[in-house]
Structure 1
Amino acid sequence: MTDLPSKAQIRDWIAQHPQETTKREIAKAFGIKGAARIDLKRMLKELEAEGVVLKSRKTFRDPETLPPVSVMQALAPDASGDLYLKPMEWHGQGAEPRILFQPRDGDPALAEGDRLLARLTATPGEEQDYTARMIRRIAQAAGSVVGIYRKEAEGGRILPVEKGSSRDWLVPAGAENGARDGELVEAEPAGPKGRMGLPKARITARLGDPSAPRAVSLIAIHEHGIPDRFPAEVIDEAERMKPVGLKGREDLRHLPLVTIDPTDARDRDDAVLAIPDDDPDNPGGFVLWVAIADVAAYVKPQSDLDREARKRGNSTYFPDRVVPMLPDALSGDLCSLHEAVPRAVIAVRMVIEAEGRKRTHDFHRGLMESRASLPYEEVQRAMDGEVSDRLGPLMETVIRPLYAAYGALTRAREARQPLELDLPERQIVLDEAGEVTSVDFKERLDAHRLIEEFMVLANVCAAETLIAKKTPLLFRVHEEPDPEKLDALRETAQASGLTLAKGQVLQTSHLNRLLKQAEGKDEQELINLSTLRAMTQAYYNPENFGHFGLALRNYAHFTSPIRRYSDLIVHRALIRAHGWGEDGLSEVDVEMLDATAKQISDTERRSMVAERDTTDRYLAAYLSSHVGTEIGGRVSGISRAGAFVKLDGTGADALVPMRAIGDEYFHYDRDSQTLIGGDSGRVIGLGARVLVRLDEAAPISGGLIATLLEVEGDAMAGARTRRPGKPPKRAKGRAAHAGRAKERKVRRRRQ
């Protein structure tokens, strides 16, 4: 008779041989044959009932271990940039095991929430319990759903607020999370499709009344996954901070530095000063100071504050709120350069010539004290002759020298020829209740341009210093436009009677000449928008590819560390390069530079989209009272869906669907970016002056739908009499054939 092993022996063998756990393999290991297999089966059942082993299909394993091949979910990278995985099934009594993912060349990049099938290797004695290699990715992370909940007999539905989304989500009974009918909710996908093929969702958060004015930005925050609450440990760390003193710093409090910001600014991270240079070798030159809040003194590498700041990447700005990168204890207090308060800074001293060319520069880690916190408008009024009482004593020593230095920098800018787009920035004005009272366009003052020029030069200095000192950093990169986009811009220019040179290395001066040609003409806004669309998206990178738009070879963001993580990295690099302390760029920071560059480039784009969506929703709310009225505008885009029209007064973009363009069918010509009438051969192109009737304005989604009434003063047949949503008649027979012939004729004429 075969001797049976004890239960302890079976358990130990399973734990030591996780890849050989079928009943046959266990029997073979212990030499169990014949009728003894029945006893082995009984023992395995007893072990399973006792919870000592876990049966999965035909295999047995220790519940305190994981099978060699398991389904995992990716977690967010840790402070060192390492990616850990979470087992989708863990039945052990102890802590969930730590699983380090080890990617191989060719593996797809994993994001938080992605699921994968992975092969595990136990690593006893190591910091992690297992290492994992990818077999295949099973599913990418499903995004959250934000929408309006509609209660039904059993469960309900979610109507997504995302513009262009036509798919509802089913909420099964029990997955409502207490949501009430009509509430704004956030949900996550939950299982296979339900009735009518609709996907299922589980409500995870109730966001309140969707019609409340301040719900607009809340929708964007949740829709785009922007973190808007700081963890308790991050708040605690920020509130424990004390002001940095003079020790180890240069005393710069004698310098009459001032901050110039928007009237409602909460954080002030840059201060400026200009002094006429008394060096006889630099006649008409200036010594410029730009002092930037020393955030690195408070946000140390791999701290809770640092991890949260890197996760957010940047602050996000909405008309009614700011989602900051740093807690208010830092962003609004210790790191903010408030008037008459000593504040830690990293400052750059720059010497420029009368024509604005930089001669020298050097960096200082110091302590400053702002002489005044000034709004742009007050400074500009003072230079225009309306001097306030507090600015009077500063005019000759501070304000006028700043403008004189700005004049010199302007001359250098004109010689450099950065891209000079003229696109006014919209400003949504809200009342105390959060309702839109007006849509204005921000006035561009010399006071704004002055600060921008000082900041650009300081950013150049930061990049040049770190390159010279061979210190790793993050560059702000803006590559040249794609040739195809340039060709599209060239065609738009030609259709407007303008020219963009071809067959030479593109420079910003060429684009500026095009913009100058359009200045003062009806096509000015169109050409500016088309030029902007031809540009590539700026991003962050440890490698330097230059900044095309600014016409600069070396450029890094240094001047806004309160609201951009990239600038904090550059500050740490400067601290490391100068040997100013232990809070400089760490080796972990250096190892993570590539990952950090991608992370903060992504969060920047996320914020831009969220801010744009919020503006669209506020504009739709503002225009909802104008539904049925006729509004002028210009065609700003053409697609298969129809024409996009930028409306006068607000700059809002309304979609004119194909069904709402005249009393005939229009065909989309991708090459010429035009719509061509099937009957008339009428051509509607970019920049065309139009009159539309606003048919729909949806504040929840931000969508605007309109009907085209006139193009360049010519009425569209049947547009005013047709009901919204009713399609035009289809051309038939000879009329359709004639329409196609005219279309071909128009195309030949445009070639």
Structure 2
Amino acid sequence: MSTIIGELSLHYEGYGFVAPTQSGHPDVFIPARLMGDAMHGDLVEVTVRKNAKGLMEGSIKAIVQRRLKQMVGRLEYQAGKWSVLSEDQRVRHKMRLVSAPRGMQHGDYVVAKITQYPSEKRPLEGEVIEQLPKRGSLPSEVEYVIAKHQLPKMFPEPVEREASFVKSEAPTRYASRDTSDGRKDLRSLPFITIDGDDAKDFDDAVCAQKLPNDRIRLWVAIADVSHYVQPHSALDKEAYERATSVYFPGRVLPMLPEILSNDLCSLKPHEDRLALVAELLLSHHGEVIEEHFYPAIFQSHARLTYTLVRRLLVDKEESLRKETQFLLETLEILSEAAERLKNLRSMRGSLDFDLPEPEIILDLTGGIEHIEKTERNWSHQIIEELMIAANEAVARFLVKKKVGCVFRVHDGPDPEKISRFYKIVQRLGFQGRFHFPVPSHHLMKILKYFKGHAEMRLINSMLLRSMAQAVYSANNIGHFGLASKCYCHFTSPIRRYPDLIVHRLLKTAWGDAKWRPPEILLEQMSEHCSRQERRSMEAEREMIALHMTLFMQDKLGETYEGVISHVTKFGFFVELIDYFVEGLVPLESLKGDIYAFDQEHLALKGKRHKKLFKIGDRVRITVEEVKLSERRTFLNLLDTKNTFSKMDA
């Protein structure tokens, strides 16, 4: 028997899992009967022991910290008493209101602040602090999601005032090439930024030169946010509390006020900007043989998009290449550097997941025009490789200087989960010996084996769920997914607070600052940033699901073709051909037989006719129902047309 402390994540069926705050420990299963009065998101102390079946499970011993501060739900008025009922099934308690809400009525949706947490003697109590708009429209549902995940929409007035002051004090240009704070002047180098079409917060700019002996000198310049956001300032406290920017379709909840994130700190073209620079010398094989770090002044010479770079380097559009001849040499060298780094990373066993995400296309009025698969091409990978190299180099430097670091760590797979994963890929035809601890390059072989086949998306998704979640920590255990012994986040300080911490520690290592928190404080800050990151990711996922369901609302009764993407015991999911949208065909809606989940074939199998519905089957469906509150679209099967999968091989 042992005791751990971690964050509780509840499942709608009542059970939950506790993710230990200390990295390197697996999640602990908590049965519903041992949950006590704990709520979703609470920091809890758990006693871990073996149950009657010999499996490890935990029971809530104590609630260390209540994390849920407010609740979003529907007002109910019964027998003269007001209450709030959450539609989030992970919230198991109904809230009793301590006072009657003014100007509201039964059925309204509200945000209520918790004033009394549930216990054996008292129920959950609270008071209404905000009435939400009538549910059903895109704007009202967006407000619902923001409130549900406790995301801040506005900056406090002192923060906005301080941001305006910082902007007013900053010079627009730096006349002298010799600066008083020892910054290098890199304005003559042809730096460029490469970002999405709609991006405004440009964190990073890159430049490269070819040298003798087939070497490449690479510069990665990152916005020097730490110059403007000082420790313990109003800006700093608010940025820390948020810890990350949150990105929704057509909207951003930024970590910093826009006067900084989209203006003063953003690496706009042809404007003087302060930066922290990682200068790396790469060998012919992509090894970093020299690395230097320093503050600098520079200018971005061009603001490029991923689409434009793809047209230049991948599609090789001749007319466009002639128009942008002055950029081509730099782009070609950057591409070569990225290819060397990628090959080296692949050789050491770094995992490259292929999990396409939906891109929500909005019209000029903010309505949902289309949903398609997000493009990820070589132009995206160029920036990814260069940023990974800079992040690793900075982490190595901070370890060498012994000033502390907020590492980005990723533990190896859980043995039980990865064992189940192995059994599934073996059923699907993968041949190979499995042993523990599992090497990352072996998992990469599995991903490559299924590449281009119907099960590819499922295998990528299952492997991802078999692994620990990457988190921030002051304790370095390495990054399993990247096969990196030492890794941190340095390249996005405009939108991630851990990167801002790393920038401050870099300045401490140079002797330019004395900000050096003890390791225990760095660990607390790391845990907070990890928690806020999970919150933002949950909100972003729900927002994508919301847009999908709203998009399908006016398509009830319409017929589409799709491909079975996932099979479960309660039905199968279909990915539509016309739109990158998934819907569920429920088990009980299937006609002509009694179907059950066949674990051997990862399929639904008819008991009488033995018909299989499996991953990769092409089907025709109609849109049967859209449940906005569940963020789910339900489909009705018309007919099927089998496609090739590994199970057919």
TM-score tier after normalising by the smaller chain length? 0.7 to 0.9
**Residue 261 (structure 1) aligned to one of 177, 195, 199:** 195
Are 2:260 and 1:335 equivalent residues in the alignment? no
Other-structure match for 2:170: 243
Other-structure match for 2:304: 374
For 1:383-462, list aligned pairs within 5 A: 383=313, 384=316, 385-387=318-320, 391-396=324-329, 398-462=330-394
**Structure 1 370/685 Cα, relative in aligned 2: closer, same or farther at 3 Å?**
same
Q: C-alpha displacement at 1:609, in angstroms?
A: 0.6
Q: What secondary structure does 1:240 align onto? A: helix
**Structure 1 479/366 Cα, relative in aligned 2: closer, same or farther at 3 Å?**
same
Q: C-alpha displacement at 1:221, in angstroms?
A: 1.2
Contact 2:373 2:580 (C-alpha < 8 Å) held by counterparts: no
Q: C-alpha displacement at 1:343, in angstroms?
A: 1.0
Q: C-alpha displacement at 1:449, in angstroms?
A: 0.9
Other-structure match for 1:6: none
Q: What secondary structure does 1:317 align onto? A: strand
Distance in 1 between residues matched to 2:582 and 2:71, nearest whole Å: 25
Are 2:138 and 1:213 equivalent residues in the alignment? yes
The one-letter amino acid of 2:71's match is V
Contact 1:289 1:349 (C-alpha < 8 Å) held by counterparts: yes
Q: C-alpha displacement at 1:222, in angstroms?
A: 0.7
Are 2:244 and 1:314 equivalent residues in the alignment? yes
Other-structure match for 1:608: 537
Other-structure match for 1:298: 228
Q: What secondary structure does 1:372 align onto? A: strand
**Structure 1 272/509 Cα, relative in aligned 2: closer, same or farther at 3 Å?**
same
Provide structure 1 residue ranges, at least 5 long, that are not aligned to the other structure. 1-107, 116-134, 715-751
**Structure 1 412/173 Cα, relative in aligned 2: closer, same or farther at 3 Å?**
closer
Other-structure match for 1:556: 488
Contact 1:148 1:160 (C-alpha < 8 Å) held by counterparts: yes
Q: C-alpha displacement at 1:247, in angstroms?
A: 2.4
Other-structure match for 1:480: 412
Other-structure match for 2:5: none
Structure with higher strand content: 2
Q: What secondary structure does 1:225 align onto? A: coil
With 685-694 and 475-484 compared, the bigger mean Cα shift is at: 685-694
**Structure 1 234/518 Cα, relative in aligned 2: closer, same or farther at 3 Å?**
same
Q: C-alpha displacement at 1:253, in angstroms?
A: 1.6
Distance in 2 between residues matched to 1:148 and 1:500, nearest whole Å: 53
**Structure 1 574/374 Cα, relative in aligned 2: closer, same or farther at 3 Å?**
same
Contact 1:476 1:538 (C-alpha < 8 Å) held by counterparts: yes
Other-structure match for 2:58: none
Distance in 2 between residues matched to 1:166 and 1:571, nearest whole Å: 39
Distance in 1 between residues matched to 2:448 and 2:495, nearest whole Å: 34
Distance in 2 between residues matched to 1:444 and 1:593, nearest whole Å: 34
**Residue 347 (structure 1) aligned to one of 277, 302, 312:** 277
Q: C-alpha displacement at 1:482, in angstroms?
A: 1.1
**Structure 1 189/505 Cα, relative in aligned 2: closer, same or farther at 3 Å?**
closer
Other-structure match for 1:274: 208
**Structure 1 254/624 Cα, relative in aligned 2: closer, same or farther at 3 Å?**
same
Contact 2:504 2:513 (C-alpha < 8 Å) held by counterparts: no
Contact 2:95 2:124 (C-alpha < 8 Å) held by counterparts: yes
**Structure 1 161/319 Cα, relative in aligned 2: closer, same or farther at 3 Å?**
farther
Are 2:402 and 1:470 equivalent residues in the alignment? yes
The one-letter amino acid of 1:660's match is S
Q: What secondary structure does 2:366 align onto? A: coil
Contact 2:204 2:220 (C-alpha < 8 Å) held by counterparts: yes
**Structure 1 484/111 Cα, relative in aligned 2: closer, same or farther at 3 Å?**
closer
Q: C-alpha displacement at 1:215, in angstroms?
A: 2.9
The one-letter amino acid of 1:557's match is H
Distance in 1 between residues matched to 2:497 and 2:38, nearest whole Å: 22
Other-structure match for 2:21: none
Distance in 1 between residues matched to 2:91 and 2:530, nearest whole Å: 30
Other-structure match for 2:475: 543
Distance in 1 between residues matched to 2:231 and 2:361, nearest whole Å: 39
Distance in 2 between residues matched to 1:415 and 1:656, nearest whole Å: 41
**Structure 1 381/679 Cα, relative in aligned 2: closer, same or farther at 3 Å?**
closer
For 1:625-704, list aligned pairs within 5 A: 625-631=554-560, 632-639=562-569, 641-662=570-591, 692-704=621-633
Other-structure match for 2:159: 234
Q: C-alpha displacement at 1:699, in angstroms?
A: 3.0
Contact 1:210 1:700 (C-alpha < 8 Å) held by counterparts: no
**RMSD, matched Cα:** 3.6
- The structure having more radius of gyration, on CA atoms, is 1
Q: C-alpha displacement at 1:594, in angstroms?
A: 1.2
Q: What secondary structure does 1:695 align onto? A: strand
Q: What secondary structure does 1:402 align onto? A: helix
Distance in 2 between residues matched to 1:339 and 1:152, nearest whole Å: 61
Contact 1:177 1:203 (C-alpha < 8 Å) held by counterparts: no
Contact 2:40 2:90 (C-alpha < 8 Å) held by counterparts: no
Distance in 2 between residues matched to 1:251 and 1:191, nearest whole Å: 57
Contact 1:187 1:205 (C-alpha < 8 Å) held by counterparts: yes
Other-structure match for 1:223: 148
Distance in 2 between residues matched to 1:672 and 1:504, nearest whole Å: 25
**Structure 1 142/295 Cα, relative in aligned 2: closer, same or farther at 3 Å?**
closer
**Structure 1 415/657 Cα, relative in aligned 2: closer, same or farther at 3 Å?**
same
Q: C-alpha displacement at 1:360, in angstroms?
A: 1.0
Residues 347-387 of structure 1: per-residue CA shift (max 9 Å, x gap): 01100012211111010111111111111222222331342
The one-letter amino acid of 2:328's match is M
Contact 1:492 1:686 (C-alpha < 8 Å) held by counterparts: no
Percent identical pairs in the alignment equals 33
**Structure 1 109/697 Cα, relative in aligned 2: closer, same or farther at 3 Å?**
closer
**Structure 1 669/154 Cα, relative in aligned 2: closer, same or farther at 3 Å?**
farther
Q: What secondary structure does 1:467 align onto? A: helix
Distance in 2 between residues matched to 1:500 and 1:112, nearest whole Å: 40
Q: C-alpha displacement at 1:497, in angstroms?
A: 2.3
Other-structure match for 1:621: 550
Other-structure match for 2:462: 530
With 335-344 and 399-408 compared, the bigger mean Cα shift is at: 399-408
For 1:13-412, list aligned pairs within 5 A: 140=66, 144-147=70-73, 160-162=86-88, 175-179=100-104, 184-188=109-113, 202-241=127-166, 242-243=169-170, 246-248=179-181, 249-278=183-212, 283-383=213-313, 384=316, 385-387=318-320, 391-396=324-329, 398-412=330-344
**Structure 1 471/713 Cα, relative in aligned 2: closer, same or farther at 3 Å?**
same
Distance in 1 between residues matched to 2:84 and 2:549, nearest whole Å: 21
Contact 2:82 2:100 (C-alpha < 8 Å) held by counterparts: no
TM-score by length of 2: 0.79
Q: C-alpha displacement at 1:567, in angstroms?
A: 0.5
Q: C-alpha displacement at 1:320, in angstroms?
A: 2.1
Contact 1:646 1:653 (C-alpha < 8 Å) held by counterparts: yes
Contact 1:638 1:686 (C-alpha < 8 Å) held by counterparts: no
Q: C-alpha displacement at 1:502, in angstroms?
A: 0.8
Q: C-alpha displacement at 1:312, in angstroms?
A: 0.7
What number of residue pairs does the alignment pair up? 576
Q: C-alpha displacement at 1:678, in angstroms?
A: 6.3
Q: C-alpha displacement at 1:203, in angstroms?
A: 2.9
Q: C-alpha displacement at 1:468, in angstroms?
A: 0.8
**Structure 1 114/256 Cα, relative in aligned 2: closer, same or farther at 3 Å?**
closer
Q: C-alpha displacement at 1:540, in angstroms?
A: 0.6
**Structure 1 409/221 Cα, relative in aligned 2: closer, same or farther at 3 Å?**
same
Q: C-alpha displacement at 1:311, in angstroms?
A: 0.8
**Residue 524 (structure 2) aligned to one of 595, 616, 633:** 595
Q: C-alpha displacement at 1:230, in angstroms?
A: 1.1
Contact 1:339 1:369 (C-alpha < 8 Å) held by counterparts: yes
Q: C-alpha displacement at 1:219, in angstroms?
A: 1.9
Q: What secondary structure does 1:659 align onto? A: helix
Contact 1:157 1:168 (C-alpha < 8 Å) held by counterparts: no
